[in-house]
């Protein structure tokens, strides 16, 4: 059974009634229950629902551009009026885009409920050109703020919430910690966020984890910027960046420099959502597995979460990083997908029960 951590009895009762999956026993797939195995296999095992996107490029204040992928759900039976159709903003992980299987499944769940989705692709990774020598990081929320403002301005009468996965969840938490109640978002769902970046990179630098995850993730980061080498060479020694063999080395040579941090430790401190959790001002549900090597169980801020009535943590003993596979042959729905579906539906259909908290 997952551990539900929430100091607010009203929020707890709301979840138990309208999002009962958080109180049900989670049975991980018996032949891949270990966290690392779940993490590695999920992208290969889970299906990829067909989604037709409408792409929109929006300009940023510094002259850059952001690629948004819309699933308008114009055939929605429950919400035929587009102006009031509930909207979910989705934030993928570190090098993820709207094509990730976990994003496609969230859109599939939203489609069945009649909702509209829009995927926020970080700069430069969804096929669009970089117009300025700047990408993204977990600490800088300027692009996310611009996207939230843009989406809300297009549909001001539509109920609006967000869901972030992995680094997308960290970015969303950092935004919420910065804005408090001053956001058009009604609520947020966070999945497999890295709460303390120092602990995350230390875990990923253990020999087996480096071999299975860290080196591959570093090459993905390098690949995501190599296409923009000509633009980025104006500011960076790209040969040095391409020699990085760990995420920490990449962040030291590239990310922390790009966003003006004096040291990598300054960046990691600013990027860690555990420092901002007390300031979150809207209802947030966070799902983590304690065997997630990207966000080790001992680094999950349980005590801090108990000090904020807006925060609920759901902690499973198994599930890995964005894994949460269940059933004998877990092709379709994961436990994470079910938490997403029930919580989003609970907020949009019964949200008035928690907004008076």
pLDDT tens digits, residue range 302-355?
999 999 999 999 999 999 999 999 988 888 889 999 999 999 999 999 988 876
Residues of the chain with CATH 3.40.50.1820: 3-196+273-353
Q: Percentage of residues in the chain with pLDDT exceeding 90?
A: 94
Give the residue among 166, 94, 198, 200 at the shortest CA–CA distance from 137: 94
Mean pLDDT of 39-63: 95
Residue of 67, 110, 166, 200 marked active site: 166
Q: What is the pLDDT of residue 356?
A: 58
Q: What is the pLDDT of residues 217-263, one digit of tens each?
A: 999 999 999 999 999 998 999 999 999 999 999 999 999 999 999 99
In this structure, are residues 104 and 71 in contact, taking their beta carbons and an 8 Å threshold?
no
Q: How far does Cα 166 stand from its chain's mean position?
A: 5
Residue of 69, 270, 291, 292 marked active site: 292
Is 152 marked active-site?
no
Q: What is the pLDDT of residue 251?
A: 98
Q: Does residue 120 have a pLDDT over 80?
A: yes
270: Cα within 13 Å, side-chain hemisphere:
16
Mean pLDDT of 286-293: 97
Mean pLDDT of 3-8: 95
At residue 288, φ and ψ (nearest 5 deg) are: -135, 150
Query: How many other CB atoms sit within 10 Å of the CB of residue 181?
Result: 10
Q: What is the pLDDT of residue 32?
A: 84
Confidence bin at 57 (pLDDT 50/70/90): very high
CA distance 272 to 264: 12
What dihedral angle (degrees, nearest 10) is formed by the CA atoms of 80, 84, 86, 87? 110
Burial class (CB in 10 A: 0-12, 13-18, 19+), 263: exposed
CA distance 101 to 29: 18
Is 166 marked active-site?
yes
Q: What is the pLDDT of residue 351?
A: 86
CA distance 313 to 342: 15
How many residues are listed for the chain in this entry?
A: 357
Looking only at the bridges linking them, the beta strands covering 65-71 and 87-91 are unpaired
Looking only at the bridges linking them, the beta strands covering 284-289 and 311-316 are parallel
Confidence bin at 275 (pLDDT 50/70/90): very high
Q: What is the pLDDT of residue 226?
A: 95
Is 298 marked active-site?
no
Rg (CA), the chain: 19
DSSP designation for 48? -
Tokens 């030291």 identify what position? 252
- The CATH code for residues 3-196+273-353 is 3.40.50.1820
């Amino acid at each position: 059974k997952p551990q539900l951590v929430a100091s607010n009895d009203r929020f707890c009762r709301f979840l138990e009634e309208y999002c009962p999956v958080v109180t049900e026993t989670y049975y991980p797939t018996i032949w891949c229950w270990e966290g690392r195995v779940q993490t590695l296999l999920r992208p290969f095992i889970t299906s990829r629902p067909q989604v037709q996107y409408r792409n929109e490029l929006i300009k940023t204040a510094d002259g850059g551009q952001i690629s948004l992928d819309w699933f308008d759900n114009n055939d929605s039976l429950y919400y035929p009026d587009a102006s009031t159709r509930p909207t979910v903003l989705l934030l993928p992980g570190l090098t993820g885009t709207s094509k990730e299987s976990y994003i496609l499944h969230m859109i599939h769940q939203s489609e069945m409920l009649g909702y509209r989705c829009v995927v926020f692709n970080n700069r430069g990774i969804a096929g669009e050109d970089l117009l300025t020598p700047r990408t993204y990081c977990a600490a800088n929320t300027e692009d996310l703020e611009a996207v939230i403002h843009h989406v809300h301005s297009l549909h001001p009468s539509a109920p609006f919430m967000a869901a972030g996965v992995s680094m997308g969840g960290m970015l969303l938490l950092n935004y919420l910690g910065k804005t408090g109640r001053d956001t058009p978002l009604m609520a947020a769902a966070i999945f497999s966020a890295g709460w303390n970046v120092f602990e995350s990179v230390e875990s990923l630098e253990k020999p087996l984890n480096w071999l299975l995850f860290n080196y591959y993730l570093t090459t993905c980061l390098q690949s995501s910027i190599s296409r923009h080498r000509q633009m980025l060479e104006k500011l960076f020694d790209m040969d040095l960046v391409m020699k990085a063999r760990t995420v920490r080395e990449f962040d030291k040579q590239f990310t922390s420099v790009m966003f003006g941090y004096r040291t990598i430790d300054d960046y990691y401190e600013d990027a860690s959502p555990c420092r901002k959790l007390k300031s979150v001002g809207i209802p947030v549900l966070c799902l983590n597995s304690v065997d997630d090597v990207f966000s080790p169980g001992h680094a999950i801020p349980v005590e801090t979460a108990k000090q904020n009535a807006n925060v609920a943590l759901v902690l499973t003993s198994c599930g890995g990083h964005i894994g949460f596979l269940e059933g004998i042959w877990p092709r379709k729905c994961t436990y994470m997908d079910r938490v997403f579906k029930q919580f989003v539906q609970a907020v949009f259909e019964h949200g008035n029960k928690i907004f008076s908290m």
